[in-house]
Amino acid sequence: MKTLCLVLGDGVRAKLYLTSYPPRELKLIYHQANFGGSASDFAGGLCKRLGADLRAGKFDALVLMASHEFLLALDRCMDEGCRRQVLGKLVVGAEQFTEQELAVRLQDLLASRPLPANLLPKTQ
Protein backbone atom coordinates (compact mmCIF):
# COMPACT_ATOMS: atom_id res chain seq x y z
CA MET A 1 0.00 0.00 0.00
CA LYS A 2 1.32 3.45 -0.93
CA THR A 3 1.40 6.28 1.60
CA LEU A 4 0.69 9.97 1.04
CA CYS A 5 1.93 12.79 3.22
CA LEU A 6 -0.37 15.79 3.41
CA VAL A 7 1.38 19.01 4.42
CA LEU A 8 -0.95 21.66 5.84
CA GLY A 9 0.58 24.96 6.82
CA ASP A 10 1.18 28.65 6.79
CA GLY A 11 3.99 30.79 8.18
CA VAL A 12 2.74 30.23 11.75
CA ARG A 13 1.90 26.52 12.01
CA ALA A 14 2.29 23.29 10.11
CA LYS A 15 0.76 19.83 10.36
CA LEU A 16 1.78 16.65 8.60
CA TYR A 17 -0.72 13.86 8.02
CA LEU A 18 -0.24 10.39 6.56
CA THR A 19 -2.90 8.48 4.67
CA SER A 20 -3.01 5.52 2.34
CA TYR A 21 -3.55 5.82 -1.39
CA PRO A 22 -6.35 6.10 -2.26
CA PRO A 23 -6.87 8.43 0.72
CA ARG A 24 -8.85 7.26 3.70
CA GLU A 25 -8.44 8.44 7.26
CA LEU A 26 -5.85 11.15 7.93
CA LYS A 27 -3.38 10.39 10.72
CA LEU A 28 -1.70 13.43 12.30
CA ILE A 29 2.01 12.65 12.69
CA TYR A 30 3.53 16.09 13.29
CA HIS A 31 2.41 19.50 14.49
CA GLN A 32 4.76 22.47 14.76
CA ALA A 33 4.24 26.12 15.61
CA ASN A 34 6.56 28.90 14.49
CA PHE A 35 7.44 31.03 17.50
CA GLY A 36 8.71 34.24 15.95
CA GLY A 37 10.97 32.91 13.20
CA SER A 38 10.59 33.82 9.55
CA ALA A 39 8.20 31.86 7.35
CA SER A 40 11.15 31.00 5.11
CA ASP A 41 13.14 29.49 8.01
CA PHE A 42 10.04 27.64 9.17
CA ALA A 43 9.50 26.21 5.67
CA GLY A 44 13.19 25.26 5.48
CA GLY A 45 13.00 23.24 8.68
CA LEU A 46 9.81 21.55 7.53
CA CYS A 47 11.38 20.69 4.16
CA LYS A 48 14.40 19.11 5.89
CA ARG A 49 12.03 16.89 7.86
CA LEU A 50 10.08 15.98 4.72
CA GLY A 51 13.28 15.08 2.87
CA ALA A 52 14.47 12.86 5.73
CA ASP A 53 11.05 11.18 6.03
CA LEU A 54 10.91 10.56 2.27
CA ARG A 55 14.39 8.99 2.26
CA ALA A 56 13.38 6.87 5.28
CA GLY A 57 10.41 5.51 3.29
CA LYS A 58 7.74 7.00 5.55
CA PHE A 59 5.72 8.18 2.54
CA ASP A 60 5.67 7.84 -1.25
CA ALA A 61 4.11 11.12 -2.35
CA LEU A 62 3.25 14.59 -1.07
CA VAL A 63 0.27 16.91 -1.29
CA LEU A 64 0.74 20.51 -0.17
CA MET A 65 -2.15 22.55 1.24
CA ALA A 66 -1.00 25.92 2.48
CA SER A 67 -1.31 29.66 2.24
CA HIS A 68 0.00 31.09 -1.02
CA GLU A 69 3.04 32.61 0.69
CA PHE A 70 3.90 29.38 2.49
CA LEU A 71 3.57 27.35 -0.72
CA LEU A 72 6.12 29.68 -2.30
CA ALA A 73 8.44 29.29 0.71
CA LEU A 74 8.10 25.49 0.55
CA ASP A 75 8.88 25.54 -3.18
CA ARG A 76 12.06 27.54 -2.54
CA CYS A 77 13.25 25.24 0.27
CA MET A 78 12.21 21.79 -0.96
CA ASP A 79 14.89 19.49 -2.33
CA GLU A 80 14.47 17.97 -5.77
CA GLY A 81 13.63 14.52 -4.38
CA CYS A 82 10.61 15.86 -2.49
CA ARG A 83 9.64 18.19 -5.31
CA ARG A 84 9.32 15.19 -7.68
CA GLN A 85 6.92 13.51 -5.23
CA VAL A 86 4.44 16.42 -5.04
CA LEU A 87 1.13 15.28 -6.52
CA GLY A 88 -0.70 18.54 -6.06
CA LYS A 89 -0.95 21.87 -4.30
CA LEU A 90 -3.96 23.72 -2.96
CA VAL A 91 -4.08 27.21 -1.46
CA VAL A 92 -5.91 27.02 1.90
CA GLY A 93 -5.67 28.47 5.40
CA ALA A 94 -4.04 26.19 7.97
CA GLU A 95 -7.09 26.29 10.24
CA GLN A 96 -9.69 26.60 7.49
CA PHE A 97 -10.90 22.98 7.45
CA THR A 98 -11.57 20.11 9.82
CA GLU A 99 -9.70 16.84 9.22
CA GLN A 100 -12.79 15.38 7.56
CA GLU A 101 -13.01 18.36 5.21
CA LEU A 102 -9.29 18.07 4.45
CA ALA A 103 -9.79 14.42 3.50
CA VAL A 104 -12.56 15.41 1.05
CA ARG A 105 -10.41 18.21 -0.43
CA LEU A 106 -7.52 15.75 -0.78
CA GLN A 107 -9.70 13.23 -2.61
CA ASP A 108 -11.05 15.96 -4.92
CA LEU A 109 -7.55 17.24 -5.68
CA LEU A 110 -6.21 13.77 -6.47
CA ALA A 111 -9.25 12.83 -8.56
CA SER A 112 -8.51 15.74 -10.87
CA ARG A 113 -5.01 14.48 -11.73
CA PRO A 114 -3.65 11.36 -13.42
CA LEU A 115 -2.13 8.82 -11.06
CA PRO A 116 1.69 9.02 -11.09
CA ALA A 117 3.63 5.88 -11.93
CA ASN A 118 5.06 5.56 -8.40
CA LEU A 119 1.52 5.09 -7.03
CA LEU A 120 0.27 2.65 -9.65
CA PRO A 121 -0.17 -0.93 -8.43
CA LYS A 122 2.66 -3.19 -9.55
CA THR A 123 1.67 -5.71 -12.19
CA GLN A 124 3.31 -9.08 -12.53
Please tell me the distance from the alpha carbon of residue 3 to that of residue 18, in angstroms, as a whole number.
Answer: 7
pTM, whole model, 2 decimals? 0.84
> How confident is the model at residue 94, as a pLDDT?
62
The per-residue pLDDT for range 93-106, each reduced to its tens digit, is 766 677 778 888 88
Contact between residue 67 and residue 40 where contact means Cβ atoms under 8 Å apart:
no
Query: Which residues contact residue 115 at a Cβ distance below 8 angstroms, ignoring those fewer than 6 apart?
Result: none
Query: For domain 3-115, is the CATH number 1.10.150.130?
Result: no
User: Cis peptide leading into 116, omega within 30 of 0?
Assistant: no
Contact between residue 8 and residue 94 where contact means Cβ atoms under 8 Å apart:
yes
Domain extents in the chain: 3-115
Contact between residue 5 and residue 65 where contact means Cβ atoms under 8 Å apart:
no
> How confident is the model at residue 122, as a pLDDT?
61
Q: How many CB atoms lie within 10 A of CB 41?
A: 13
The per-residue pLDDT for range 2-47, each reduced to its tens digit, is 899 999 988 889 999 999 887 878 899 999 998 888 989 999 999 9
What DSSP string describes 67-103? Answer: -HHHHHHHHHH--HHHHHTEEEEEE--TTSS-HHHHH
